[in-house]
Amino acid sequence: MTAIITEKFRSHNAAQFFESFTEASGNAYYLMIGKPNPYTSATSGGTDESPPTPADDISSEFYIWDSAVAAKKIASTNITYALPRRDWANSTIYDMYEDNISSSNTTTSGATNIFDSTFFFKTSDNRVYKVLDNNSGAAYSGAEPSSESTSSFVLGGYTLKYMYSITAAEQATYLTTDFMPVSTDTTVSAAAVNGAIESIIVTNVGSGLTNGTYYAAVYGDGTSAGTASGAIIKITVASNVISAVSTGNTGIQQAGAAYTFGTVNLGSGFTFSDITLETAAAIGGSGSAISVVISPKSGHGSDAVSELGGHYIMLHTSLEGSDNDDFLTGNDFRNINLVVDPTTFGTSTVGSASTYRTTYAMKFSGSPGTFTSDEVITHTNSDSVVATGTVVEYDSTLQILYYQQERFGGYGTLSATGAYNAFSGTGTVTGASSSATGTPDSSADSAVSLAGGNTITFVDGFANPELQPDSGNIIYRENRKPISRATDQTEDIKIIVEF
């Protein structure tokens, strides 16, 4: 038994994912950053110069939450369908659209799937064209196309179909070195005709043909197929062979409609000297053959996303400074994650705010020292319970220390025993490298206003993360080299999801 997962399945899944951002009861997607501490072979594996490959396992998902710093919601306005970027360049050989590409009928470049091929390109002014004919695999030779006609046209020896343009806003937000946004042009879509024949392939130019111009009907299942009311092709014979489609002399005279298959008969009695197909004119000679290329459902240009293989979704968000005081700027981060439907701390309510802090925090009383980012801190409370963790950032003005507890010895668990104890109660907190000390303010039981106007509420001097650790599902994980943050800096982050 043989089976395949089709392109339609991939497109369907991409569409479902896209729609989940906009549905009335859709999902909530958050981009979550974390891992301010360096990668080490003794803890997370890898190094900052060579980050570890993310593992798709249960344990890793829990660990991501242990080192999380903050999360930002991805709005429905910050997603798009995308395609691999193909730039136009003169003297380049492009593939062409065909309806039957497979392992037994590969493209010019050898691709066995049309969507893995180079059958479309983007010009320097961000117009996107589909190649309907590539001049038998020759290099494009001519001016850069700029037409936005809804009809196909010949230029540079190629037959091209204008599909859509990337807007200035789309270019700024989504265009990368490897991917480009894709959308359907409503004007082009409205002009598309289901089952129209818009391209042909001269499979054999023949020999000894009678020079002249001929017309032939396209037979098949199209509307009025095989008659002057159906699709008709124009054939020009010069030097006793069929002229190439690239000359513009051989091609589609009338596109017809509703074809899912079609054939052209060049035998005696099937070619004519007039477009009404009334005056028979034998093409003569031998060997000539033409095949028709069937258009996608609803016609070329009706749905650029599906026609060009838009089974990629690009998500974009920008981290702007402290972003509602939730994104700390005094440290770096090393991983990027996509979390679906995380809940707010201590509840089963899916988060809806634009940003959330995912670190723990404590507020000191008196005159604490100055703690440094990434240093190990220890705390022995009044019950002699020892806790350990690492500093994410210290706000010396408000005397707030943001921290996390990873699972590794000395980073969140006790090196001697492996025990994990949460920070709580009074007692001295000590920084291992700064030697700074501070005492949690047990009387801090109110909201504290932060620099950007947001607030953080403490209970007995401690504050939990705003999102419940380990809630929701992490569906994307990426480890990177350290990315430093600053109050006047914006990180522009794009995630490509391929289906």
Per-residue H/E/C for 402-440: EEECCCCECCCECCCCCCCCCCCCCEEEEECCCCCEEEE
Average pLDDT of the chain? 96
pLDDT at 248 over 90: no
Residue 181 neighbours by CB under 8 Å, 6+ apart: 80, 81, 82, 83, 166, 170, 173, 174, 175, 314
Rounded Cα distance between 235 and 214, Å, is 5
> What distance in Å separates the CA atoms of residue 142 and residue 128, rounded to the nearest whole number?
17
Same domain, 31 and 97: no
Residues 155, 134 contacting (CB under 8 angstroms)? no
CA distance 65 to 239: 73
* Of 357, 339, 350, nearest in space to 404 by CA: 357
User: Are 371 and 234 within one domain?
Assistant: no
Instruction: Tell me whether residue 300 is in a domain.
Output: no
Q: How far apart are CA 373 and CA 141, in angstroms?
A: 58
Distances 400 to 94, 114, 440 between C-alpha atoms, Å: 59, 57, 9
CA angle 202, 206, 207 (to 5 degrees): 155
pLDDT tens for each residue of 415-442:
989 999 999 998 999 999 999 999 999 9
Q: Quick check: is 307 in a domain?
A: no
Amino acid present at 260? T
pLDDT digits (tens, 9 = 90+) for 120-171: 999 999 999 999 999 999 999 999 999 999 999 999 999 999 999 999 999 9
Alpha-carbon Rg for the chain, nearest whole angstrom, is 32
Q: Decide if 429 is inside a domain.
A: yes
- For residue 384, being part of any structural domain is answered with yes
Give the C-alpha separation, 321 to 328, whole Å.
Answer: 8
pLDDT-derived band at 194 (thresholds 50, 70, 90) equals very high
**Assigned domain for 279 exists:** yes
**How far apart are the C-alpha atoms of 335 and 315, rounded to whole Å?**
16
How far apart, in whole angstroms, are the C-alpha atoms of residue 196 and residue 301? 11
pLDDT of residue 48: 95
Q: Residue 2: what pLDDT?
A: 85
pLDDT at 247: 86
Q: Please give the average per-residue pLDDT across 392-396, as a whole number.
A: 97
Whether residues 376 and 451 share a domain: the answer is yes
Q: How do beta strands 212-220 and 262-264 pair?
A: antiparallel
- Any alpha helices (H) in 101-242, and if so which ranges? 168-174, 186-191
Say what the pLDDT of residue 1 is.
Answer: 81
Q: What is the pLDDT of residue 327?
A: 96
Average pLDDT over residues 360-367: 95
> Do 345 and 488 share a domain, yes or no?
yes
Count of domains in the chain? 4
Structural tokens at position 68: 């999380």
**What pLDDT shows up at residue 374?**
96
Range of the domain at 266: 199-293
The rounded percent of the chain whose pLDDT value lies above 70 is 100
Element housing 307 (H / E): helix 304-307
Residues 198-227 have a mean pLDDT of 97
pLDDT the model gives residue 57: 93
Of residues 321, 385, 333, 381, the one with CA closest to residue 358: 333
**pTM listed for this prediction:** 0.91
pLDDT (mean) for 79-88? 98
Co-location of 326 and 205 in the same domain: no
Nearest to 144 by CA among 186, 92, 108, 107: 92
Q: Which residues are within 8 A (CB) of 330 and not within 5 positions of it... i.e. 6 or more apart? A: 373, 392, 393, 394, 485
Please indicate, yes or no, whether residues 129 and 162 belong to a single structural domain of this protein.
Answer: yes
Residue at 226 is within a domain: yes
pLDDT tier at 231, thresholds 50, 70, 90: very high
Do 348 and 479 reside in the same domain of the chain? yes
Do 459 and 366 lie in a common domain?
A: yes
pLDDT tens digits, 11-27: 999 999 999 999 988 99
pLDDT band at 400 (very low <50, low <70, confident <90, very high): very high
Distance CA 251, CA 154 (A): 10
- Same domain flag for 203 and 324: no
Residue 311's nearest CA partner among 81, 16, 116, 21 is: 81
Q: What is the largest CA-CA distance in the chain?
A: 106
pLDDT at 397 over 90: yes
pLDDT in tens, 297-324: 999 999 999 999 999 999 999 999 999 9
Q: Provide φ and ψ at 18, rounded to 5°.
A: -60, -45
Q: Is residue 191 part of a domain?
A: no
Question: Which residue type, as a one-letter code, is found at position 96?
Answer: M
pLDDT of residue 224: 98
Residue written as token pair 């492996």: 418
Distance, in Å, from the CA atom of 30 to the CA atom of 33, rounded to the nearest integer, reads 10
CB atoms closer than 10 angstroms to residue 174: 22
Same domain, 407 and 422: yes
- The CATH number of the domain holding residue 331 is 2.60.340.10
Per-residue pLDDT, 384: 87
How many whole angstroms from its chain centre is CA 73? 17
* Mean pLDDT, rounded, for 209-221: 98
Location of structure tokens 């005056």:
279
Same domain, 351 and 366: no
Residues 340 and 370 in one domain: no
Residue 387: inside a domain: yes
